[in-house]
Every structure is written in C-alpha cells, then in structure tokens.
Amino acid sequence: MTCPRIEVDLGKIRENCTTVVRRLKARGLSVTGVTKAVCGHPAVAQAMLDGGVAGLAESRISNVRRLRRAGHRGPITMIRTPMQSQANQVVQHCEASYNTEIVVIEALATAACAKGKVHGILLMVEMGDQREGILPENLGAIARHVMETPGVVLKGIGANFACLSGRAPNAAQMAALSVLANETEGLCGAVLQTVSGGNSANLPWAFGDHAIGRINDLRLGEAILLGVDPVSGDPLDGMHQDAFTLVAEVIEIATIPALSQIGLVDPALAKLRLFSNTPDRVRAIVAIGHQDTDISGLSARGGHSPLGATSDHLVIGTEPSTLSVGDEVRFQMTYSALVRAMAAPDVALRQVHELPSDCAQQSSTRAEHLALV
Ligand SMILES: *Cc1c(COP(=O)(O)O)cnc(C)c1O
C-alpha cells in the first residue's frame, strides 16, 4: 500500500463532532468546523457536517476552492484576515470573513458590489493572544464604518486565544468579549448574529461552569480532529485521539553498537530526550522526513522511539526482530505533524473505517455527493 500515507477514520471525526456539538449545545454554543489542518479535505469536511457542525471555516482560499470544487455549497467563513489581493476570490467563495483591516474590508466591499453580492464581516478583536485583532478601543469605530459601507454587512465579532501566546483564555477575558459585543451593538445599532469565542483552547472554559454571556460560537479544528486540548495536550473526555495515523515504510535495519555514538541526533529530539543510550539496540530507517511532517510531533505505536531525522529519513530505535525491511510503522501525530503531513505532496490519504457503527457507513455514503479531489 502507498507509503507514506495518512489513514483517516471519518467515523471517529464524525463522532468527535457529535460529542463536542452536543456538549456545547447544552451551553448555548454552536460549532464552526475548521478544516485548515486537513487542507480543506472534502470528505473530512463532510464528516464534520455529518457530526453536526453549523458551518465550515478555512484560513486559505486554495482550500476553500477545493471544497467548492468538490460540490460543497454550505457557508464557509474565512478565518484568516483575507489578503487584499484575494478580495475577489474571498467574496466569490466565502459568505463571510474575519477582518482586522479597513482597507481589506473596503476591497471586499468593492468586490461584493461588483458581483451584486453582500459579504459578511466579522471583526476580530485582540484580547491578549497578540496575534490578529482590532484593539478593543477601536472596535466601535470600525464596526460603524462597516455598517456604512455598501457591499458588506456586519455579522459579528470574535476573538482568538492561545495560538501565539499559548495561553488559554480565562473567564474574565471571555466576559470582556461579551461586554464588547453589547457595547458594539449599543454604538452602532446592529444586532451581532455571531459572537465567536475562539478555538479549541476555549473548550476548558466552555465546558466549565462560567457564564457563557454573549458568546454563541466556537471555531474548532484540533479538538475535533485529534480529540485533544491544544494548550495542555491532554485528551478530551469521550473523544477519539486516533482518527489519524501516519504510516511509513522501513527501508533499512541495522544493529549499531551505541546510539549515543551516532552524533546526528536531531537537537529538537535531543531536547525532548527521545534518544536512548542503551547499547546494541536495533536501528531502523523509515522513509519519511522533515519534508513530510513535523518529526518531533510523531510518536510511534509499538514501542519504537524516534532518534533523529533528516529531510527524507527518520531513524528509530527498536528491539531486535521486531521490524523488517518493508514493514510499516504507525505513528500518532500532533497537530503540527498532521498539518504538515496533510500538505505534503508525497503523503497519501486513505480512508479507513474502524468504527463498525453506521456512522462510518453514513459518512461514506454521504461523501459520494462530493467528488474527492
Ligand atoms: C486555526 C484557527 C482556529 C481553529 O483552531 P483549533 O485550535 O484548531 O481549534 C480558529 N480560529 C482561528 C482564527 C484560527 O486561525
């Protein structure tokens, strides 16, 4: 079978969605499924929709186009502030986008008017992550500007946490976002349809017993795909952590005297103390490397330990007689390993159905509506 490849169990993704959608619905929150980590893969997007997400969100127009080519007609929101140079395409393929720059909003408005469309604008507010966002004190003026601009309509506001800072939002920050929603409405007379609280890092807050306030949506990728909390890396209750597996093939086996003598151990891995000094272990070379994934985000199933890697080779330590040339080694991936493997041209994708329930079947039948590209 083609190697390297990602095996994806769509039934598990669907179940992860069902679980998180049900738990958040009880708290008054809807879920927008974020497909950027899988490059807008249409079947994965469909599994999210089958699991009950309210809509899809993407960060790259190329991924949105892939979804549209596959026949997806539902709403797609652009979550990265659109490039000014892509305003036309964003208006063409997305119902709405998150924005932080007036010049870009104006470019979207011009493009929308030219097409006879109205494009939805959500304003992203900076609340501590120090990545994207309008400063809270400038939000009212920009919101009013959007209200006065033909071709665009103010749909909501949102914030993003933990992406750059690595810090999950606290209840006070979330309460402040609710206050901003009320103030913005007061200032410009609009009703904000969406107040989007953030990404997977918000789940501990959302599952807690804090007041939800005005927040009515979360944008979730990692939690749905990998079943983990991105800040702590801890598995989320009742979610599958193994919807994705990376499979690569062994191309060489050798017994080497002492691994500490290799001297080629990847510094990142060395820092993680992944290498072992046990003498006379067997070393296997697997045909995958930095060009294919984030090697430091792989953990091998079956007790093999990654020792070091180059662009095309991954050296793993293993016990004698456990692996032969031609064998496949299976790895669990972190988010960054998944993102890079999904985008790597030499990594294939194969759908598997471990879940015997009708959900795997249902999503594959439904996926037939979408041409897999
Ligand atoms: C990537 C991203 C998300 C989704 O993040 P996850 O951690 O995968 O849930 C949500 N919002 C924005 C703006 C993003 O860039």
Is any ligand 1 atom within 6 A of the Cβ of residue 160?
yes
Our separate counts of H helices and E strands in the chain read: 12, 16
pTM for the whole structure: 0.90
CB atoms closer than 10 angstroms to residue 194: 20
Whose tokens are 């913005």? That residue is 184
Q: So what's the pLDDT on residue 264? A: 52
The stretch 273-290 carries a mean pLDDT of 74
Q: So what's the pLDDT on residue 367? A: 37
**Residue 36 alpha carbon, nearest atom of ligand 1:** 1
Probe target for ligand 1 pocket from 64, 79, 161, 215, with the most ligand atoms within 8 Å of CB = 79
The CA 34 to ligand 1 mean position distance, Å, reads: 7
Is any ligand 1 atom within 6 A of the Cβ of residue 31?
no
pLDDT at residue 285 above 90? yes
Chain mean position to CA 1: 27
Q: What is the Cα–Cα distance from 16 to 214, expressed in whole angstroms?
A: 25
pLDDT band, very low/low/confident/very high, at 87 (cuts 50, 70, 90):
very high
Q: So what's the pLDDT on residue 364? A: 42
Higher local confidence (pLDDT), 5 or 256: 5
pLDDT band, very low/low/confident/very high, at 260 (cuts 50, 70, 90):
low
Q: What is the Cα–Cα distance from 42 to 31, expressed in whole angstroms?
A: 18
Q: What is the Cα–Cα distance from 344 to 46, expressed in whole angstroms?
A: 22
Q: So what's the pLDDT on residue 356? A: 53
